[in-house]
Amino acid sequence: MISISRYHDISSGHRVVGHENKCSHLHGHNFRVHFTVTAERLDDIGRIIDFSIIKAQLCDWLETHWDHRFLMYEADELRIPLQKIASEDIVSCPFNPTAENMAQYLCEVVGPQQLKGTGCQLIKCTIEETRKCSATYEIS
């Protein structure tokens, strides 16, 4: 199988509900998000898809929705009080915003929506919280 990858850097806040330690606090990371895309066949000139389309459809989605925002689990008890004072800054997520869940959401929800009609599929997403720590979700 042939695949292509592109990464994008965003700065976002999050809080991990139920975390036993520091990640239960309001804090943020300079996340590096790696997208891996494949297609059933290469196009006429030998590409899966032009890299600029990954930028426009996936990297720009991150810029619009998650960059310089604060990701909060919709069930987080702090979400509603914080949304009252900073509604544009809070992104309500249907998942606890761990790197693992963020990667899964990008592959299962954002990828299919953003790559619709391109003949390509987002098959893997790796999210680095730091240079030392990352999570990967891969569609099997």
Residues found near Zn ion in the complex (CB under 5 A): 23
CB nearer to Zn ion: pick between 4 and 23: 23
In angstroms, the CA 114 to CA 23 distance is 30
Q: How far is the CB of 18 from Zn ion (least distance, A)?
A: 13
Q: How far is the CB of 10 from Zn ion (least distance, A)?
A: 13
CB nearer to Zn ion: pick between 5 and 92: 92
Work out the end-to-end distance of the chain between its first and last CA atoms, rounded to an integer number of angstroms.
Answer: 13
Q: How far is the CB of 15 from Zn ion (least distance, A)?
A: 8
Annotate 57-74 with DSSP letters as a single string. IIIHHHHHHTTTSEEEET
CB nearer to Zn ion: pick between 31 and 35: 31
The backbone region for 18, taken as left when phi is positive above 0, alpha when psi lies in -120 to 50, beta otherwise, is: left
